[in-house]
Amino acid sequence: MTEVVPIRTAIISVSDKMGVVDLAQGLQRAGVRILSTGGTRSHLEKSGVEVEDIAEYTDFPEMLDGRLKTLHPRIFGGILAKRDQPEHMETIDEYDIDPIDLIVVNLYPFAATAGRAGATRDEVIEQIDIGGPSLVRAAAKNHAHVAVSTSPEQYGELLSALESQGGTGEKLRRQLAHEAFEHTAAYDRGIADYLAGESVSRDFPTSLHFSLRRKTQLRYGENPHQRAAVYSDNRVRTANLVSARQISGKELSYNNLLDLDAALEIVRGLNEPAVSVIKHNNPCGAATADKLVTACDKALAGDPLSAFGSVLGFNRTVDVATAEALCEPGLFIEAIVAPDFAAAAVGLLTTKPRWRENVRLMQVGRLDEPGQTLQRRFISGGVLVQDADSLPSIPLQWETVTDTEVPEVLWDDLAFAWEMVRYVKSNAIVLAKDTSLIGVGAGQMSRVDSVEIAIEKAGDRVPGSVLASDAFFPFADSIAAAAEAGIAAIIQPGGSRRDDEVIEACDRHGIALVMTGRRHFRH
């Protein structure tokens, strides 16, 4: 491979025109001949750059409403010819083909068009680029002799190489070729996913492909000895953390991102103003109320000790009143995710005392749409894929199975507890009162252990509260513990061989029992 390849002729044809004028002017100063098409050519000429129309060079006009522009032997022969093979050079000379040393191409905005509300299918299909990927792939294949740029972020390095060494070095061309094939692979993946989405089949696809782009490297992973990075999935259009705007605070950690994602997931599906408090990927507090500040106070009161150093999720714009509540002495918050933050609230949350100077504020935008419908989880040798556990609860299908009836005032708490238990690691038990979490038992090997932990966390607030269990009770021992603590009603899926024993125990202790018929395991 040739170390430094001079740039004498370049093709520039871009949809994203950011920085392209500066690049073209730099090439022109270096005496590079520039070939271009349509809108790019007009854009460069308006800025005073001398450009040769590709149609004039090929002596073949654009046609088919612009679908056919660059697919011509004079173009691809100039890109694909191996400069170190005399036969190749004699052939292109015979057919009056000039070597092309640099391809600057980025592709039609297919993903943006496909994701735009109201875009028709015809509009989306017209954004499937044909000539662009062909140019990129040809140049990347022949990177021994040709440089290819697919992103404005690469322009500065190209110009620096041109200025310092008169062309592109081997290392740079290899790097650009790798990024070019990543670019076309992601582009094709987006098209395939769009077409797959039109299928009426509800089956899982026979093959699954990931097209992710590294957004940033993190300082470390779950522990300091582990390396980590975060990658973005451009197919995700709903509000999410990776595309969120960080308003303030120091760099997010691996664990911060996991906890913020959990916080966002909880509040996303709640209609009333809601707040979640997350510690180690489990909720230690959550609440709904008619006002956000009230929900915030209730959520933080769920487990005040665990709330120290937690992350918070909101489903409404964080207002001044809520920010003032968060600034109470003795409270330390690592990060907050919300649709938006009032300007004055940002001021309160990012000024002294000291922790506020580093609190991460993440603005994700509106939460109108549900989160991802499929969940992916990597295991050794492959990936597990399942439907997300995001289906709304159907209270009309719930059944009170005890003779003891549910007091009318407890139905809202039961519905809230049942919504919350799906976000707790199984075996999961939650206690709720006044539509707020007051006790959580998470991730225990025994369900009765989870019950006892939740009761201990709730303390003297247990009497009159409700309990939700993510799966059935295998024995009646949990009912005895709940009754002794003063729990008034229980909601659980049912389905145990000992359901009759559990129902009888509830009636014996005067506890109403509701069965939902749906389990919420979260491993």
Q: Are residues 344 and 424 in the same domain?
A: no
Q: Are residues 499 and 428 in the same domain?
A: yes
Q: Are residues 173 and 33 in the same domain?
A: yes
Among 140, 168, 197, which residue terminates a domain? Answer: 197
**Mean pLDDT (the chain, rounded):** 86
> Can you tell me the distance from the alpha carbon of 427 to that of 421, in angstroms, rounded to the nearest whole number?
10
**DSSP codes, 125-147:** HHT--SHHHHHHHHHHHTTTT-E
Q: Are residues 121 and 249 in the same domain?
A: no
In a domain, 238, yes or no: no
Q: Are residues 358 and 423 in the same domain?
A: no
Please write the tens of the pLDDT for every residue from 254-280.
999 999 999 999 999 899 999 999 999
Q: Are residues 134 and 42 in the same domain?
A: yes
280 is catalytic: yes
Number of domains forming the structure of the chain: 3
> Can you tell me the distance from the alpha carbon of 279 to that of 28, in angstroms, rounded to the nearest whole number?
57
230 alpha-carbon distance from chain centroid: 10
φ, ψ (nearest 5 deg) of residue 494:
80, 180
Residue 59's region, left for phi above 0, alpha for psi from -120 to 50, else beta, is left
Instruction: Give exposure, 26-53, as e/b (b: 16+ Cβ within 10 Å).
Output: bbbebebbbbbbeebbebbeeeebebee
Task: Please list the ranges in the chain whose pLDDT falls under 50.
Answer: 200-201
Among 141, 176, 197, which residue terminates a domain? Answer: 197
Q: Are residues 83 and 130 in the same domain?
A: yes
In a domain, 202, yes or no: no
Encoding tokens for residue 13? 């044809």
* Residue-level pLDDT at 61: 65
> Can you tell me the distance from the alpha carbon of 340 to that of 439, in angstroms, rounded to the nearest whole number?
29
CATH number at residue 101: 3.40.50.1380
Encoding tokens for residue 502? 């559990």
Q: Which amino acid is at 466?
A: V
Helix (H) or strand (E) holding 385: strand 382-387
In a domain, 456, yes or no: yes
For tokens 């303390």, name the residue.
459
Encoding tokens for residue 275? 């707040």
Name the catalytic one among 88, 141, 291, 509: 141
> Can you tell me the distance from the alpha carbon of 4 to that of 494, in angstroms, rounded to the nearest whole number?
72
Q: Dihedral sign for Cα 141, 144, 148, 151, please.
A: positive
> Can you tell me the distance from the alpha carbon of 504 to that of 174, in angstroms, rounded to the nearest whole number?
72
Predicted TM-score of the model (pTM): 0.71
φ, ψ (nearest 5 deg) of residue 167:
175, -165
Helix (H) or strand (E) holding 310: strand 310-314
> Can you tell me the distance from the alpha carbon of 29 to that of 293, in angstroms, rounded to the nearest whole number?
60
Encoding tokens for residue 163? 């200025």
* Residue-level pLDDT at 200: 46
Q: Where in the sequence is the domain holding 410, given as residue range(s)?
A: 395-515
In a domain, 369, yes or no: no
Encoding tokens for residue 177? 């070729």
* Residue-level pLDDT at 63: 61
In a domain, 471, yes or no: yes
In a domain, 294, yes or no: yes
Q: Are residues 186 and 298 in the same domain?
A: no
Q: Are residues 12 and 137 in the same domain?
A: yes
In a domain, 175, yes or no: yes
Please write the tens of the pLDDT for every residue from 35-50.
888 778 888 888 888 8
> Can you tell me the distance from the alpha carbon of 344 to that of 108, in angstroms, rounded to the nearest whole number?
41
Instruction: Give exposure, 196-233, as e/b (b: 16+ Cβ within 10 Å).
Output: eeeeeeeeeeeeeeebeeeeeebeeeeeeeeebeeeee
Burial of residue 246 (number of CB atoms within 10 Å: 0-12, 13-18, 19+): middle
Distances (CA, A) of 501 to 265, 438, 475, 494: 35, 27, 8, 12
Name the catalytic one among 17, 280, 291, 509: 280
Q: Are residues 344 and 470 in the same domain?
A: no
φ, ψ (nearest 5 deg) of residue 362:
-115, 115
Beta-bridge mates of residue 275: 287, 314
17 is catalytic: no
Among 347, 363, 379, which residue terminates a domain? Answer: 363
φ, ψ (nearest 5 deg) of residue 518:
-135, 130
Encoding tokens for residue 243? 């595309």
Task: Decide: helix, strand or coil at residue 52.
Answer: strand
CATH number at residue 439: 3.40.140.20
* Residue-level pLDDT at 2: 54
Of 220, 256, 231, 221, the C-alpha closest to 336 is 256
In a domain, 204, yes or no: no
Q: Are residues 354 and 407 in the same domain?
A: no
Q: Are residues 82 and 192 in the same domain?
A: yes
> Can you tell me the distance from the alpha carbon of 107 to that of 151, in angstroms, rounded to the nearest whole number?
10
